[in-house]
Amino acid sequence: AGILNFCANNYLGLSSHPQVICAAVRALEEFGAGLSSVRFICGTQSIHKELEEKIARFHQREDAILYASCFDANAGIFEALLTPEDAVLSDELNHASIIDGIRLCKANKYRYKHMDMQDLEAKLQDAQKHRLRLVATDGAFSMDGDIAPLREICQLAQKYDALVFIDECHATGFLGPNGRGTDELLGVMDKVTIINSTLGKALGGAAGGYTTGPKPLIDLLRQRSRPYLFSNSLPPAVVGCASKALDLLMESNAIAQSMAAKTQRFRSKMTAAGFTISGKDHPICPVMLGDARLAAVMAEDMLSRGIYVIGFSYPVVPKGKARIRVQISAVHSDEDIDRCVEAFTEVGRKHGALP
């Protein structure tokens, strides 16, 4: 009782939004508990098609395809799209599901240093010998809350004739003036070719993922993508929930703006208190502590003060870069944020993280 959750990906608080819950219940009642089928047999209902159209509209893309998760979307795309004559260039800190998806494809693999544009350019030059080049990056990186330099990536992609793929799991719904994501934030919506994202974080938090992009690509995925072809269709309640979440975000950017203001409040108050917060302007706010044990004992002590946060240490993050990853949500009140900062300050002083 009274414990505040500061470690969920529920960035917009939509998983407990009454209209989202109501839409899920209605879909459950009208369309049943599940389809007992993959999409192309008897697993497609009107609501699946409507949600795909809505996702494409939200991102201003031609078409979209649903998956059971973004992990599946990442597992399915590279193998379906790339041949042994092609090349994929991936940021070294990309999410595990991108890494696994790339492992499954037969394209030539290049790994560039994290957000290092000189290294990416060198790798793009080397990859000129291949038929097609795809640069793959997280839009926002979940461990550090840092944002990929998409403007520069898109410029390089143009120069070296490459496509750009972004994973927007930690951006969709809240980054950019209208919450469209990293591409909107950085003004490159017309330059990023493919977006994969999740319905399981800001968009209601239930489950599901998708790819959105050019129609011929989506058509190809429907023919060839193995997690789409061989895994069950999304349950109606999950579809109903995501669909309502998107309606709310397309009606107004107020929820996203409120989260941004709270992020700003937390980051500035924590910095003023003497903590180092990694990343910039992102609701993932890693409180950098260095020592693994310090991160663990501080997180434990925070819980005893009613703040639920988790310490991250090696091998999840590099050695010597242990941290407590705080995630801000639109449902946190200003008082909640202040309570969290106060608890950090007390606990930080007690354990020597602050003077």
270: left (phi over 0), alpha (psi -120 to 50) or beta: alpha
H helices within 275-333, ranges in order? 292-304
Does 142 help bind ligand PLP (rule: CB under 6 A)?
A: yes
- Check: CB of residue 337 under 8 Å from CB of residue 9: no
Active site residue 54: no
* Among 17, 170, 244, 262, the one annotated catalytic: 170
Q: Does 167 bind ligand PLP (CB under 6 A)?
A: yes
For residues 199 and 190, the answer to whether their CB atoms sit within 8 Å is no
The least CB distance from residue 304 to ligand PLP, in Å, is 28
Catalytic residue among 97, 142, 231, 233: 142
95 binds ligand PLP (CB under 6 A): yes
b or e along 204-236 (b: 16 or more beta carbons within 10 Å of the residue's beta carbon)? bbbbbbbbbbeeebbeebeeebebbeebebbbb
201 is catalytic: yes
Single-letter amino acid code for the residue at 258: S
Q: Which is nearer to ligand PLP, 2 or 315 (CB)?
A: 315
Q: What minimum distance in Å lies between the beta carbon of 153 and ligand PLP?
A: 16
C-beta of residue 124 within 8 angstroms of C-beta of residue 101: no
- Closer to ligand PLP at the Cβ: 240 or 348? 240
Nearer to ligand PLP, 168 or 336 (CB): 168
Q: How far is CA 96 from CA 70, 101, 179, 310, 327, in A?
A: 11, 9, 24, 20, 20
Part in contact with ligand PLP (CB under 6 A); list of ranges 41-49, 154-162, 167-175, 288-296: 167-175
Q: Does 263 sit near ligand PLP (CB under 6 A)?
A: no
State yes or no: is 170 an active-site residue.
Answer: yes
* Residues lying near ligand PLP in the complex (CB under 6 A): 69-71, 74, 95, 97, 138, 142, 167, 169-170, 198, 200, 209
Residues acting as catalytic residues: 142, 170, 201
